[in-house]
Amino acid sequence: VLYELETGIAKSNAPEKRLKQLEEIVSVVRLLPFGRDEAKIAAAVRAQLDQQGTPIGPYDLLIAGTALSYDGVLVTRNSSEFARVENLRLEDWYG
């Protein structure tokens, strides 16, 4: 997730503003590591979605694998993509 946010800042028309927002978020949330367990879950999700013919992007797979591994709720504006992932709890704070 942090990579996706940093990419958004790099592409932004207002990078200073976005960087400040990111720093505020990072100061109050726990950053979760991505390791073997998360990779296994992400790989299983990819295999299932590929088999169903409904793949999602590679970074979204890593994000979903992490959320599932930690039994977390994924906050996203991209609910339609992540809704394909079985047992993934989603919240859209923008919709």
Domains, the chain: 1-31 (no CATH), 35-95 (3.40.50.1010)
> What is the residue-wise DSSP string for 39-91?
HHHHHHHHHHHHHHT----HHHHHHHHHHHHTT-EEE-S-HHHHTTSTT-EEE
pLDDT digits (tens, 9 = 90+) for 52-75: 999 999 999 999 999 999 999 999
Query: What per-residue confidence (pLDDT) applies to 21?
Result: 96
What pTM was computed for the model? 0.85
